[in-house]
Amino acid sequence: MVCRKSAIAAITLLFAVLVQAAPLPESDGLVHEGVASCASSICHGRVEPDVSATVWLNEYRIWLREDKHSGAYKLLLNEQSQSIATKLGIPKAHEAPECLACHTDYVPVAMQGKKFRVEDGVGCEACHGGSENWLKTHTEKAATHEYNIAQGLYPSDVLPERSELCLSCHLGTESKFASHEIMGAGHPRLSFDLQAFGVNQPYHYEIDEDYRNRKATYDDVQTWLSGLATQSRLTLDLMAGPVFQGSALMPELALYECHTCHRPMNGNHWRTDPKYAASLPSGSVRLNDGALQVLIVAMEVIKPSSATAILDGINELHSASLQSKSDVQKQASMLTTVIRGLELELANKIYAPEDIVLLRKHLLRAASEGEFSYYNAAEQSFFGIETLSIARGDSELAEKELDHWYATMVDENRFDSTVFAQVAGTVLGVFQ
Ligand code: HEC
Ligand code: HEC
Ligand code: HEC
Ligand code: HEC
């Protein structure tokens, strides 16, 4: 399922801040004091935002009432979760590490402070890091953002760190993963786009002047593109690591494009994809390269030499996928090195209005010519086009067409790539 964005974020200026790669909150080795430590009415638990303060101070209320993360544990008690657990032979979803890992702030018992409650689901410290060393000091005037980070606050303002944080649950890692077995038992397929999901998570902060003075900020297009590169790299990392190994014969199927296997048998979908024909003959099971395909098309505009390098790398990866698991792992690992450098480059590049228009046209043309014929790539391309239109400020010009395009892909079980391409053509027609 994809969600449409609800808000229009203003373009913000960029202040690049260099921070050393931080450990994810789940493994920061700090005591997580618990949501209740942040939630008092004189701290982050006010009813209304305090516009005179540096931060709103009603973050807890927003999280509790509007943000799905606060209900992530409770979800494990519902019927769908119980049914998943039963099929997997797990007695209780809400006690199973396989589920708690992404549905709570999953830190070892020794790292759970006095007020820590597993029931709080994905609480503040699951994203902001264990507050052991900064809870008391972060409100002091002298406590700069850099100081707080040195005390263990997670740099969630910085790219690619923010992507790595979100994707640790929205894609998975070596230590927590929604496998094909879990999905087969009824877990939804995971999809992600940093900018689209960032907008869909109810804002509990405002990027105003004082925020810009303290923290790194990025505009929508920077966030989208850098996020896409990080998502591509982390997907490849999983293919390069032990998760991919799967059982003796089959690799981990959740790292493949689900819809190469799961689709109706009528409708004549049998085809080759011209850009990848050399490495993926019809009938091959395709590794999930949805984010990578969209990244390539964007790089064709931004930096053609990178587009070629990534396309070559993916073709090698697909060829390797017809050979052996170890060939896939070698190739995936090589390709991550090509992409790693792009994450910062894309986050720091300035995209002028005419660049945005060009990027959108090129992506829409690719979509209308049938390049994103598999669902994952189609969905990923939709997120990008929507971001570009919001950033350009003219999405209302094609509101009807964008809604229609969205409708062609809202249900992955009925996705028809021909219709998706046709409607992409009508959107392109409006924005030409
Ligand atoms: C790799 C992290 C990860 C693991 C492991 C994981 N989940 Fe999830 N789960 C998610 C994310 C992220 C979502 C939200 C997906 C979205 O909306 O894009 C989700 C969504 C769900 C939903 C659907 C919610 C809805 O609104 O439809 C259920 C039910 C669920 N998970 C149950 C479980 C159970 C039970 C387990 C253990 C067997 C589990 N999850 C393991 C990350 C994970
Ligand atoms: C799913 C991840 C996530 C959760 C859960 C979360 N936050 Fe945030 N929070 C963010 C992101 C992303 C930002 C924006 C980047 C930044 O400023 O670090 C942010 C920003 C903030 C800010 C910064 C405002 C500023 O002007 O500097 C505060 C304060 C904050 N969050 C408090 C909380 C509190 C309190 C909770 C729990 C009730 C919470 N957050 C839960 C992700 C999260
Ligand atoms: C510790 C794991 C974890 C982290 C970290 C995390 N999420 Fe989530 N997220 C979840 C789970 C689990 C759900 C499903 C909750 C539900 O459906 O009730 C979810 C749901 C969401 C949803 C709602 C999706 C929907 O279908 O409505 C959005 C949007 C979202 N997350 C964005 C983000 C962003 C942006 C970040 C990074 C700043 C982030 N998440 C970090 C676990 C996580
Ligand atoms: C290589 C082919 C292949 C790929 C790729 C694949 N699956 Fe499956 N999937 C299967 C097979 C085989 C079954 C078992 C069907 C059965 O038992 O009758 C299955 C079962 C399922 C089921 C249980 C429902 C059913 O039809 O039995 C779900 C849900 C599911 N897969 C989701 C996914 C998702 C989500 C992805 C991508 C992340 C994915 N699959 C990728 C082959 C695949």
Q: What is the pLDDT of residue 133?
A: 96
What is the arithmetic mean of pLDDT over 121-150? 95
pLDDT-derived band at 392, boundaries 50, 70, 90: very high
Nearest-angstrom CA–CA distance, 295 and 45: 40
Nearest-angstrom CA–CA distance, 276 and 310: 12
Q: Is 233 in the pocket of ligand 4 (CB under 6 A)?
A: no
- Number of other CB atoms surrounding residue 172 within 10 Å: 23
Nearest ligand 1 atom, CA 171: 1
Ligand 4, atom 23: closest residue by C-alpha: 184
- Number of other CB atoms surrounding residue 410 within 10 Å: 14
pLDDT tens per residue across span 226-275: 999 999 999 999 999 999 998 889 999 999 999 999 988 877 777 778 89
Q: What is the pLDDT of residue 20?
A: 52
The number of CA neighbours under 13 Å toward the Cβ of 72 is 23
Say which amino acid occupies 19.
Answer: V
Of the residues 120, 169, 192, 203, which should be mutated to test ligand 3's pocket, given the most ligand atoms within 8 Å of the CB? 169
What is the arithmetic mean of pLDDT over 282-305? 97
- Given a contact cutoff of 8 angstroms between Cβ atoms, the answer to whether 427 and 364 are in contact is yes
- Given a contact cutoff of 8 angstroms between Cβ atoms, the answer to whether 406 and 215 are in contact is no
Share of the chain above pLDDT 90, in %: 87
Alpha carbon of 63 to ligand 2 centroid (Å): 9
Alpha carbon of 146 to ligand 4 centroid (Å): 46
Nearest ligand 3 atom, CA 102: 2
pLDDT-derived band at 14, boundaries 50, 70, 90: very low
Q: Is 126 in the pocket of ligand 1 (CB under 6 A)?
A: no
Nearest-angstrom CA–CA distance, 158 and 153: 12
Q: Is 258 in the pocket of ligand 4 (CB under 6 A)?
A: yes
Ligand 4, atom 14: closest residue by C-alpha: 184
Closest CA to 290 of 215, 169, 209, 371: 371
Alpha carbon of 313 to ligand 3 centroid (Å): 31
- Given a contact cutoff of 8 angstroms between Cβ atoms, the answer to whether 329 and 237 are in contact is no
pLDDT tens per residue across span 58-103: 999 999 999 999 999 999 999 999 999 999 999 999 999 999 999 9
What is the arithmetic mean of pLDDT over 292-305? 98
What is the arithmetic mean of pLDDT over 33-46? 93
pLDDT tens per residue across span 328-367: 999 999 999 999 999 999 999 999 999 999 999 999 999 9
- Number of other CB atoms surrounding residue 64 within 10 Å: 16
pLDDT tens per residue across span 173-221: 999 999 999 999 999 999 999 999 999 999 999 999 999 999 999 999 9
- Tokens for 50, please give them: 């305090």
Nearest-angstrom CA–CA distance, 259 and 282: 14
What is the arithmetic mean of pLDDT over 391-413? 95
Nearest-angstrom CA–CA distance, 275 and 311: 8
Q: Is 69 in the pocket of ligand 1 (CB under 6 A)?
A: no
Q: Is 180 in the pocket of ligand 4 (CB under 6 A)?
A: yes
- Tokens for 304, please give them: 């053609």
As a whole number, the mean pLDDT across the chain is 93
Long-range contacts of 65-69 (CB under 8 A, 24+ apart): 66/202, 67/201, 67/202, 67/204, 68/201, 69/121, 69/122, 69/123, 69/126, 69/127, 69/201
- Tokens for 28, please give them: 């920061």
- Dihedral Cα 248, 253, 257, 263, nearest 10 deg: 110
Alpha carbon of 84 to ligand 4 centroid (Å): 14
pLDDT-derived band at 19, boundaries 50, 70, 90: very low
The CATH class for the domain spanning 25-216 reads mainly alpha
Measured from CB, residues less than 6 Å from any atom of ligand 3 are 3, 68-69, 71-72, 75, 102-103, 122, 126-127, 162, 165-166, 168-170, 197-198, 200-201
Say which amino acid occupies 186.
Answer: G
Please indicate whether residue 141 or residue 275 has the higher confidence score (pLDDT).
Answer: 275
Tell me how far apart the 2 most distant CA atoms of the chain are, in Å.
66
Q: What is the pLDDT of residue 179?
A: 97
Q: What is the pLDDT of residue 6?
A: 38
pLDDT-derived band at 51, boundaries 50, 70, 90: confident
- Number of other CB atoms surrounding residue 156 within 10 Å: 19
Every domain range in the chain assigned CATH 1.10.1130:
25-216
What is the number of the ligand closest to the CA of 91?
A: 1
Residues in the chain: 432
Least confident of 53-57, 294-298, 318-322, 426-430: 53-57
pLDDT-derived band at 12, boundaries 50, 70, 90: very low
Residue 4 has pLDDT above 80, yes or no: no
With b for 16 or more beta-carbon neighbours within 10 A and e for fewer, the 22-39 pattern comes to bebbbebebbbbbbbbbb
- Number of other CB atoms surrounding residue 227 within 10 Å: 30
Q: Residues 21, 343, 332, CA angle at the centre, nearest 5°?
A: 90
Nearest ligand 1 atom, CA 99: 37
What is the arithmetic mean of pLDDT over 106-135? 98
What is the number of the ligand closest to the CA of 148?
A: 2
